[in-house]
A and B are shown apart, each in its own frame.
Chain A
Amino acid sequence: MSDDAFRYIKNYKDSADAIILLLPPPTTLLLNRYYTSEFFSEVRKKLSKNGVFMCSPGPGENYLNKEAINLYSSIYNSLTSNFRNVKPVTGEKLYFIASGNPVSLFFCHLAEKNNINNIYVSRDYLDDELINKKSEEVMSLLDRGIHQNKSAYPVASFHFQRYQFSKNIGEKIPAIVLMIIIFALPVFRVKKRNFLMYCSASALAGLEIIILLSLQIMIGNMYQLTGLVIAGFMAGLAVGSGIKSAFLDTISLRNKVILQVLFYIAFGMIYNSLADIKSLVPALAVILIAGFLPALITGRIFRELTLQTGGIDKSSSVYSADLSGSALGFIFISGIAVPVFGIQVSVFLLAIQVCAGIIFGVSKNTN
């Protein structure tokens, strides 16, 4: 099979008695897709009446620390939202077995009863009583209050990062927050007239991150399409800053920026339905347009600010504001906003960023 597994499952016409997910833990957002409520929902639809699904989101440790519990709880809650019966099994990894029917963990007994000859699943290595006892122990630790892992809210990936960080006990300082503070410092050097550029560029960079993540969720295989997405953004910036348009000149700077804010709000509101687009061509078209339009406005802001101010020094200060805003946007959205708030809320945050640019950056001399 040479297709994205998520799309494969979605388009699979038959039904299966067992679906076994043999992938690494949700270490990245790409892998996280296979541990989401949306994926489990597709899996459940493709299982036969007595079908069973198995996944293994992490190592099966003797003792689960807090970070591991949060990780497994997010996956467990996503599974239970789709399957009536879910049980954890501790072995070399932590396995979740899910089904619409009751699940038995007496593996050795079942293997013997059904004359399944094998080396490992036997009383030589396993103890059914111990497996069940450990399963109950893990169940008692799982937190039902932890948010489900969803495509637009990849909380499991975030919990896995924290689990990895927990291996180095001395490194609990939130490094990403410190990085964000460092990248936010240039804002004190940005002149008032360039603040709009700073905010708009920051929001656009954040949108670029969100679009790339959405590409993973909607289409899956993103390697060859990443260039296309970034090209869409760059084309928007180029058109916005380079094209002389009488029509666009009739719209005031303030109104252009307000249009950009409205775009972000609208995008946020319809985001969840965008993520359900099944076909490749419409999904790509949406992604390209969603990147092109706000980039065009950001490019236009750049053009108007540099034309107003004039001179090389002033142009370079606008460009500097553009780049430093972009740096903040990239790291803030990817490092904090998406893991903490999810993708949809992060889109609304972009609108707030641009609003800040309007409030504090658009001087009374520009209309």
Chain B
Amino acid sequence: MNNQGCDLSKRDFLKKSLALSAGLICLPCRSVFPASHMEDSGIYKRIAMFQEETARGIMCRICPNECVLKEGELSKCNNRKVHDSKLYTLAFGNPCSVNVDPVEKKPLYHFLPGSKAFSIATAGCNLVCLNCQNWTISQISPDKTRNIELMPQQVVSECIRNNAASIAYTYTEPVTFYEYVFETATLARDAGIKNIFKSNGYINRDPLKKICGVIDAANIDLKAFSESTYLKLTGGKLQPVLDSLKQINDSGVWLEITNLVVPDWTDNMDDIAAMCKWLSTNGFKNTPLHFSRFYPLHKLEQLPPTPVEILNNAYKIATDEGLRYVYTGNMPGNEISDTICPKCKATVIERQGFRVVTNSLTDGKCSKCGGHIEGIWN
């Protein structure tokens, strides 16, 4: 066999084959690179609140990331974009996750126990937690997810239809769909529905002050208690979260705190002790603290679930520091989930999983000793 009758040399054949292969490969890849000139202008839902024009671009002032964006640039939370020299939110009326959950699942134990929370979330988050359980929607922009159209008034209607006592802004990070939360919460209040803010607390002072005017309860994730761990685990800073906790506590919004205990990251007992001491000395003795068990997820799949004894040790440290309402969760059969009267130590609310088995409170007081139990009970 020889090349006499063949016009195509080996080199030409290979060059053309490689060029064809590269072309075929590039066809599906074109979706990777955003074609901004083909963008659907419908993605720009609302003009964003708390924006400021600077010499370097438009600054978003909602959270400590304080992204400065030029035309067409997307924020770190994947939810804000500059269009025609204005900052827009891409998240409004387009939740990707809608569920009805027991309020205990948030977790909120001292807020309308036994009630249901109509829970919504849009895509996006201003942190990049390695263990995020909702990473498929938190680390992506709302224009890339399958969304449901649910404008604020519809959220309220659906909440009523599902006999839920509250609307919970949760799963991802409500700070990043701030405008949607604000408008929905305002309408919900008018309709007598409570609002729950399940957040990482990574928000600036002024936006937090404004949102506290329309929400009734918050559960804030205190993800770590050292700056370096916080940064490595979440990509954010600890201090703004501590500031948010104090601000919410002072605002009168009902507050509960969650600490996810992650092996090798946040299971250090000294750090937990320091956290509990800080909470105790900064006015959080009556704030329920939930220690939650970690399960391998996202980028921490190589870790084991948190051992039960670690959570029990954390519980002991917290109660020894004087914190009055401490719970452990996410470990069926081993949870410490009953509410105990801090005065007479009687069980005032017995829980099994997410279910309230007995509730012996009377007007927020222990039925045995009359001691006041902090919370919003009806």
Is residue B41 within 8 Å, beta carbon to beta carbon, of the partner chain? no
Q: Contact flags (1/0) for B126-158 with A, using CB distance below 8 Å?
A: 000000011111011000011000000000000
Is residue A113 within 8 Å, beta carbon to beta carbon, of the partner chain? no
Is residue B297 within 8 Å, beta carbon to beta carbon, of the partner chain? yes
Nearest neighbor of B28 in chain A, beta-carbon distance? A174
How far apart are B366's CB and chain A's nearest CB, in angstroms? 24
Task: Give the complex CA separation of A259 and B162 in angstroms.
Answer: 72
Is residue A364 within 8 Å, beta carbon to beta carbon, of the partner chain? yes
How far apart are A2's CB and chain B's nearest CB, in angstroms? 25
By a CB distance below 8 angstroms, the chain B residues around A138 are: none
How far apart are A257's CB and chain B's nearest CB, in angstroms? 10
By a CB distance below 8 angstroms, the chain A residues around B136 are: 61-65, 68, 166
Is residue A362 within 8 Å, beta carbon to beta carbon, of the partner chain? yes
Is residue B332 within 8 Å, beta carbon to beta carbon, of the partner chain? yes
Is residue A17 within 8 Å, beta carbon to beta carbon, of the partner chain? no
Is residue A147 within 8 Å, beta carbon to beta carbon, of the partner chain? no
Task: Knowing A63-B136, A124-B355, say if A187 contacts B332 (CB, 8 Å).
Answer: no
Is residue B1 within 8 Å, beta carbon to beta carbon, of the partner chain? yes
By a CB distance below 8 angstroms, the chain B residues around A65 are: 136, 140
Task: Knowing A173-B32, A254-B1, say if A62 contacts B97 (CB, 8 Å).
Answer: yes
Task: Knowing A130-B99, A172-B32, A173-B29, say if A62 contacts B353 (CB, 8 Å).
Answer: no
Is residue B273 within 8 Å, beta carbon to beta carbon, of the partner chain? no
Q: Are the CB atoms of B14 and A122 closer together than 8 Å? A: no
How far apart are B18's CB and chain A's nearest CB, in angstroms? 7
Task: Give the complex CA separation of A157 and B332 in angstroms.
Answer: 32
Instruction: Give the size of the chain B interface in residues (CB under 8 angstroms).
Output: 39
Number of A-B pairs whose CB atoms are under 8 Å?
79
Is residue A120 within 8 Å, beta carbon to beta carbon, of the partner chain? yes
Task: Knowing A68-B136, A119-B332, A254-B1, say if A125 contacts B353 (CB, 8 Å).
Answer: yes
* Size class of the contact patch on chain A: 35 or more
Q: Are the CB atoms of A195 and B32 closer together than 8 Å? A: no
By a CB distance below 8 angstroms, the chain A residues around B18 are: 181, 184
Q: Are the CB atoms of A360 and B10 closer together than 8 Å? A: yes
Task: Knowing A174-B25, A184-B18, say if A359 contacts B354 (CB, 8 Å).
Answer: no
Task: Give the complex CA separation of A92 and B293 in angstroms.
Answer: 13
Nearest neighbor of A367 in chain B, beta-carbon distance? B1
How far apart are B16's CB and chain A's nearest CB, in angstroms? 13
Q: Contact flags (1/0) for A3-36 with B, using CB distance below 8 Å?
A: 0000000000000000000000000000000000
Interface residues of A in 166-225 (CB under 8 A from B): 166-167, 169, 172-174, 177, 181, 184, 187-188, 192, 195
By a CB distance below 8 angstroms, the chain A residues around B295 are: 92
Nearest neighbor of A166 in chain B, beta-carbon distance? B136
Is residue A316 within 8 Å, beta carbon to beta carbon, of the partner chain? no
Task: Knowing A124-B355, A181-B18, say if A167 contacts B299 (CB, 8 Å).
Answer: yes
Interface residues of B in 10-29 (CB under 8 A from A): 10-11, 13-14, 18, 22, 25, 29
Given pairs A61-B136, A119-B333, 8 additional interface contacts (CB within 8 A): A63-B97, A120-B332, A123-B355, A130-B100, A167-B135, A167-B139, A174-B29, A362-B1
Interface pairs (28), CB distance under 8 Å:
A62-B136, A62-B137, A63-B97, A63-B134, A65-B136, A65-B140, A68-B136, A119-B332, A119-B333, A120-B353, A122-B353, A123-B355, A124-B353, A124-B354, A124-B355, A125-B354, A130-B100, A167-B299, A169-B139, A172-B29, A174-B29, A177-B25, A188-B11, A356-B13, A358-B1, A360-B3, A360-B9, A364-B1
